[in-house]
Amino acid sequence: MKKINSKLILLLALLLAMSLAVAGCGGNGAAPDQDQAGNDQPQAAKEKVLVWGRGGDASGLDPSNVTDGESAKVTINMYEGLVAYKQDSTEVIPALAKDWKVSEDGKTWSFFLREGVKFHDGTDFDAEDVVFNFERWMNEGHEYHIGGEFEYWGYMFGGYPGVVESVKATDQYTVEFTLNKPMATFLANVAMFPFGIASPEAVKEFGEDYFKNPVGTGPFEFVEWVPDSKIVLKKFDGYWGDSAKVDKLVFRSIPDNSARLMELQAGSIDIMDGITPDDVATIKSDDQFQLILRPSMNVGYLAMNVEKEPFDDVKVRRAVNMAINKKPIIDAFFAGLAKPAKNPLPPSLWGYNDAVEDYEYNAEQAKALLAEAGYPNGFKTTLWAMPVPRPYFPQPQKIAEAMQADLIEVGIDAEIVSHDWTTYLKKTESGEHDMAMLGWTGDNGDPDNFLYVLLDKDNAVKGSAGNIAFYKNDEVHDLLIKAQQEMDQEVRADLYKQAQEIIHDDAPWVPMSHSTPPIAAKKGVSGYVPHPTGVESLVTVDKN
């Protein structure tokens, strides 16, 4: 008994001593270190490290097997596809392919590859590597079609193998794709982040664990991934193009928005996304920060179910468009970080029709239109509001209330309806609503990805509708299908502009907003260009 007793006291004494030691460390030892990290002067001479703070970790680092933005943000720095998007728009530019051509019938695509490109593992890049990657993605029977579901291949190319009949290397630096039908969006799809070319050697070596051992041809190569904590990349010395400005890139996951902002204030991260609207003012008022707005590639809208009365009457739909005052809603509920929408397409997309004039906010004229349509005293209806905030509607319930207030002004008594998110999507896809809020974020920067998905009659099928207005216009349909099969982008842009005019006249939606997500960076960070897709290479970013 005595023995245990003295042991216990010894243990307690030890614990106390250790706690004092720890406390001591915290008191004085830390200060100089922290200052160093804070103002970066001594570090700049050695190594330039850019730290990006974000809310979540990547789910994997094999781009073909992920669908989340947090993964894409990292992989885009390590991988390159055949083609890419321009730094600030969704225009397609050369990447691993320096040129390409498409046959008359739109079914054969040839890509002419850059020579002298190396993977991070030192192997040379050529046409066979492209063939290996595409076959891995599209053929379910391929030996290395493992490590995930390759969802994006299925989404963008219509299944496995989908639209691609064959892909072959015609010589060392030429790849030829044969499609089973013309596909105008083929090029824009290939430019998406999931279709970055991986080193076949690495894929074979790591198999199912390739997702944490990524090897591409991009400006940064992989160093380390500590799950939920950080991903470290370093400048790739063998990169074929202009090399990166910083030596290291670190992606830190800091899940709490407030804690992340405090990390920026403390100086331990250089740039961050995922800012709550409430914090925008803090960032704007602090002169050690810069606020950067990402160009929008989304649309938030109020869809009117044209199959239901009274929304089958175009006059009613136009009246609703005139009744809702977008500007104050955007100022109040988007922290001003959105533009009022007038088209289904966001203005950052080619093919956007800027000539379309939005319905002017005018309650009196709206009332007159309603009277003309046979509703001099208005009517009762429902307005469905999403239960969860999305980038295109950050505060859906409050926005719904504001729209409700605008509508009652002209005599439309709209009851707000809400369901849990899954149910909401199911029920709106089945057309159970009168009016419903929803939105869309673009996948590939092609207007088809908005107009066809959201407003074509092909997608107005009850149960799985992307077109929840159930708007069916044959003229629009013909334009959109023609555009899908047309290979000349200028001709396509013109077709989309015509479609937008018709849609504007038919008014199946109230296009509400294109939100522009904010990003905060330290003052010394330069060369950062946010991309509308939310996924961008940091090769041009520098800090001082």
Partner 1 sequence: MIKYIIRRLVMIIPVLVGVSILAFLLIHLIPGNPAVAMLGERATPEQIAHLEEALGLNDPIYVQYGRFMGRILHGDFGRSIHSNSSVLWEMGVRFPATIELTMAAMFVAVVVGMGAGIISAVKPNSIFDHISMGTALVGVSMPIFWLGLMMIYLFGVQLKILPPSGRLDVAITLERVTNFYVLDAIITGNWVAFKDALLHLVMPAVALGTIPMAMIARMTRSSMLEVMRQDYIRTARAKGLAEKIIILRHALKNAFLPVLTVIGLQFGYLLGGAVMTEWIFSWPGIGRWIFLAIGARDFPIVQGGILLIATVFVIVNLLVDVLYTLVDPRIRFD
Summarize as ranges the residues that interact with partner 1 (CB under 8 A).
1, 4-5, 8-9, 12, 15-16, 18-19, 22, 25-27, 29-31, 33-35, 37-38, 43, 49, 51, 56, 59-60, 65-67, 147-149, 151, 154-155, 159, 208-209, 211-212, 224, 226-230, 232, 250, 252-256, 258-259, 262-263, 265-266, 268, 422, 425, 464
CB nearer to partner 1: give 24 or 241. Answer: 24
Least distance CB 323 / partner 1 (angstroms): 29
Instruction: Report in angstroms how near the CB of residue 250 gets to partner 1 at its nearest.
Output: 5
Q: In terms of DSSP H, where are the helices of 25-167?
A: 30-39, 41-46, 69-75, 127-138, 151-157
Q: Residue 368 burial (CB < 10 Å; 0-12/13-18/19+)?
A: middle
Q: To the nearest whole angstrom, how small is the minimum distance from the Cβ of residue 58 to partner 1?
A: 8
Nearer to partner 1, 330 or 468 (CB): 468
Q: How far is the CB of 226 from partner 1 (least distance, A)?
A: 7
Q: How far apart are CA 307 and CA 465, in angstroms?
A: 13
Q: Give me the least distance between CB of 159 and partner 1, in Å please.
A: 8
Nearer to partner 1, 233 or 410 (CB): 233
**DSSP string of 291-352?**
EEEPPP-EEEEEEE-TTSTTTTSHHHHHHHHHH--HHHHHHHHSTT-EEE-SSSS-TTSTT-
CB of 35 to partner 1, least distance (A): 7
Residue closer to partner 1 (CB basis): 195 or 311:
195
**Residue 267 CB neighbours (<10 A):** 16
Residue 307 CA to residue 530 CA, distance in Å, equals: 40
| Cα–Cα dist 529/517, whole Å | 13
Q: Exposed, middle or buried: residue 389 (CB in 10 Å: 0-12, 13-18, 19+)?
A: middle
Place of tokens 């250790």: 18
Query: Nearest distance from residue 324's CB to partner 1, in Å?
Result: 25
Q: Which is nearer to partner 1, 293 or 425 (CB)?
A: 425
Q: Which is nearer to partner 1, 18 or 332 (CB)?
A: 18
Residue whose CB is less far from partner 1, 49 or 314: 49
Nearest of 257, 408, 390, 278 to residue 332 by alpha carbon: 278
CB nearer to partner 1: pick between 135 and 443: 443
Instruction: Decide: 111 and 92 in contact? Cβ < 8 Å.
Output: no
- Residue 422 Cβ vs partner 1, minimum distance, rounded to whole Å: 6
- The residue with tokens 């309806």 is 417
